[in-house]
């Protein structure tokens, strides 16, 4: 049944609303990095490193070159390691549109749920991103102590977090937060397994950009299936 939920979600990726959310997430992320990079460049120009004099040494001509290399390396590091989390976080703000697209196609008889305010969506997204990053930082100790078990720890941990987040998103739209927690507790094992399957593409470059959309669509199907039991 979980694989049926995933296959239905994948089959709907041609939906214009799915593409819109993906393009919004990636586009806003690229814009954010471009603006931050331009800000760093302007800051270096404002400091005017080339004219800095040091006591006993005078002007150091190579200081601007070294600092430029360091900033370039730091920018590349941030680009590589923060691109996916930031893109996923920005995309997650618009996941309510993905859930609505799923319901419009597969559950058209349902009335429209209350629209989640943007401020609440941003708050929930930032909270989830913080928990996701914090939990994985803490798990680094386990990765070091148990290197052979590191992949299993990664998938188990992130499967739990992803399943918890995306099922809550889907269920809260119809059940409210209390109802979503009750359903999540009742079907915890199945939600965790589905979350682990979501964590697999999380480790694949480019494909991981699609994880928030795939998760939102999959767990919307899962919520409606489980809520009928």
For the record, the structure tokens of 5 come out as: 């939920």
**Apex 145 CA angle, 144 and 148, nearest 5:** 80
Q: Report residue 64's pLDDT band, with 50, 70 and 90 as the boundaries.
A: low
Contact between 18 and 91 (Cβ < 8 Å) = no
For the record, the structure tokens of 25 come out as: 């997430």
CA dihedral 209, 135, 119, 24 (to 10 degrees): -10
**Most confident option among 71-80, 188-197, 203-212:** 188-197
Q: What string of DSSP letters covers 190-210?
A: HHHHHHHHHHSGGGSTTGGGG
**Most confident option among 85-89, 114-118, 195-199, 207-211:** 195-199
Strand (E) positions, the chain?
53-54, 58-59
C-alpha 139: how far from chain center:
18
70-120 per-position pLDDT tens digit:
766 766 666 655 665 666 667 777 888 899 999 999 999 988 888 777 777
pLDDT of residue 5: 92
Residues 141-164: what's their mean pLDDT?
88
Of 104, 99, 88, give the one whose Cα is nearest residue 18. 99
Higher-pLDDT residue of 128 and 177 is 177
pTM for the structure as a whole:
0.75
Of 185, 227, 184, 198, give the one whose Cα is nearest residue 95. 198
6-50 per-position pLDDT tens digit:
999 999 999 999 988 888 877 877 777 777 767 766 766 665 555
pLDDT of residue 54: 53
Distance (Å, rounded) from C-alpha 33 to C-alpha 40? 11
CB-CB neighbours of 222 under 10 Å: 27
Higher-pLDDT residue of 43 and 202 is 202
Query: Which residues on adjacent β-strands are paired with residue 54?
Result: 58
């Amino acid at each position: 049944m979980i694989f049926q939920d995933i296959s239905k979600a994948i089959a709907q990726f041609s939906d214009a609303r799915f593409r819109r959310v993906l393009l919004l997430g990636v586009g806003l992320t690229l814009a954010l990095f471009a603006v931050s990079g331009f800000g760093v460049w302007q800051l270096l120009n404002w400091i005017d490193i080339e004219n800095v004099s040091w006591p006993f040494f005078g002007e150091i001509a190579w200081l601007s070159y070294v600092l430029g290399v360091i900033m370039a390396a730091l920018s590349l590091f941030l680009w590589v390691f923060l691109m996916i989390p930031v893109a996923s976080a920005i995309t997650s703000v618009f996941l309510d549109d993905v859930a609505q697209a799923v319901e419009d196609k597969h559950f058209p008889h349902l009335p429209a749920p209350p629209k989640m305010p943007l401020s609440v969506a941003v708050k929930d997204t930032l909270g989830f991103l913080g928990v996701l990053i914090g939990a994985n930082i803490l798990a680094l100790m386990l990765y070091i102590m148990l290197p052979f078990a590191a992949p299993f720890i990664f998938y188990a941990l992130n499967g739990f977090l992803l399943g918890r987040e995306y099922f809550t998103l889907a269920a809260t739209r119809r059940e409210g937060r209390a109802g979503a927690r009750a359903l999540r507790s009742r079907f915890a094992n199945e939600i965790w397994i589905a979350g682990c399957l979501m964590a697999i593409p999380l480790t694949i470059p480019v494909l991981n950009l699609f994880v928030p959309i795939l998760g939102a669509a999959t767990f919307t199907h899962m919520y409606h299936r489980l809520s009928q039991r």
